[in-house]
Amino acid sequence: MLEARALGFAHPEGPPLFTDATLAIAPGEIVGLHGPSGIGKSTLGRLLSGHLAPGWGAVLLDGAPLRMAGFCPVQYLGQSPMHMVNPRWRVGAILSEASAPEPKTLAALGIAEGWSARYPHELSGGQLQRVAIARALAPGLRFLVADEISTMLDAITQAEIWAFLTRLAAERGIGILAISHDRALLEAVATRTLEFREIALGP
């Protein structure tokens, strides 16, 4: 179980973005998080995956604070895959940064062998997003924060990626937090959808 307990965050010398975000995700569950742009959804996602340190409250994994050493069981996937990979690395190196990717995973995501020698700017956004997903699927993974991962992609790629993630949740019991401002998408993929305003900003 991945939990956010009364999480709050403020940028240095800025007003708090939110002060009381509370949610829980069970293994194998796809939870949607909906809200308008700029409200703090991404920040909440980054807090949950340890990319940012919370100002208040705590992130709990099975009741214990999220460990900051070693491979983090909660991984973050962002909207722009170009920023998620080092532009000076080849795709092969990117894919095996956390652990050697399983051939089965690569095949399921449609990642071709020939991409390994290419640089990120030689792939399309959709291809690169699939690379970023494959990279995160290391053995220790238990939860994924998918922050607007399909916003920049065409409808077919979007459908393929979400079909893969839905299978991942069902087969491996990976819990997924799907963050989006697109209600229709969340209703299609998520088992339940939370409203950011309600879980983070209080009544």
Query: For 102, phi and psi rounded to 5 degrees?
Result: -75, 135
Q: Is 84 in the site for other proteins (CB under 8 A)?
A: yes
Q: Is 129 in the site for other proteins (CB under 8 A)?
A: no
One of 6, 53, 71, 195 touching other proteins (CB under 8 A): 71
| DSSP three-state, residue 53 | coil
Q: Is 104 in the site for other proteins (CB under 8 A)?
A: no
SS3 annotation, 181-200? CCHHHHHHHCCEEEEHHHHH
Q: Is 69 in the site for other proteins (CB under 8 A)?
A: yes
How far apart are the C-alpha atoms of 111 and 102, rounded to whole Å? 11
One of 64, 88, 104, 155 touching other proteins (CB under 8 A): 88
The interaxial angle of helices 125-136 and 155-172, nearest 10 deg, is 10
Between 51 and 197, name the residue whose CB sits nearer to other proteins. Answer: 51
Between 53 and 163, name the residue whose CB sits nearer to other proteins. Answer: 53
Q: Is 61 in the site for other proteins (CB under 8 A)?
A: no
Of 123, 126, 199, the closest CA to residue 161 belongs to 126
Query: Which residues sit at the interface with other proteins, rule CB under 8 A?
Result: 49-51, 69-72, 74-76, 78, 83-86, 88-89, 97-98, 138
